Amino acid sequence: MKWESGALLHIHIAPKASANMIELEEAELVEGKGIVNDRYYNQTGTYSPKPDIRDITLIENEVLEALAANQPPLQEKPIILKPIEHRRNLNNFWRST
């Protein structure tokens, strides 16, 4: 399999742990810190005491589509998550050949 291209679909941040996610049009990322104004950049996230492991988090759109279609059937019924509900910073997709 070869990865051909991809796209960033959504950018989300939360200013602190358990705060509502906010969708951004663009973001500034700082190496070793994450997305400016995000909970982990601000050191106010749930896992902030564990350094260097959660600068940003990603989820592929294909995963959300598979959960919604219940494919493969891993749960009793489909799980529908809007991009702002999964609490990952970046929602992306990839094309492969």
Mean pLDDT of 33-62: 86
Domain membership flag for residue 2: no
CB of 35 closer than 8 Å to CB of 11: yes
Question: What number of CA atoms fall less than 13 Å from residue 53's CA on the CB side?
Answer: 7
Domain membership flag for residue 1: no
pTM reported for the whole predicted model: 0.80
Tell me what pLDDT residue 11 has: 95
Domain membership flag for residue 49: yes
Domain membership flag for residue 64: yes
CB of 27 closer than 8 Å to CB of 8: no
Which of 3-7, 27-31, 52-56, 86-90 is modeled with the greatest confidence?
Answer: 27-31
Tell me how many domains the chain contains. Answer: 1
| Spatial separation of the C-alpha atoms in residues 83 and 11, rounded to whole Å | 9
What DSSP letter does each residue of 25-57 carry, written as one string? S---EETTTEETTSTTTTT-STTTTSTTS-S--
Q: What band does 2 get if pLDDT is binned at 50, 70 and 90?
A: low
Domain membership flag for residue 52: yes
Domain membership flag for residue 3: no
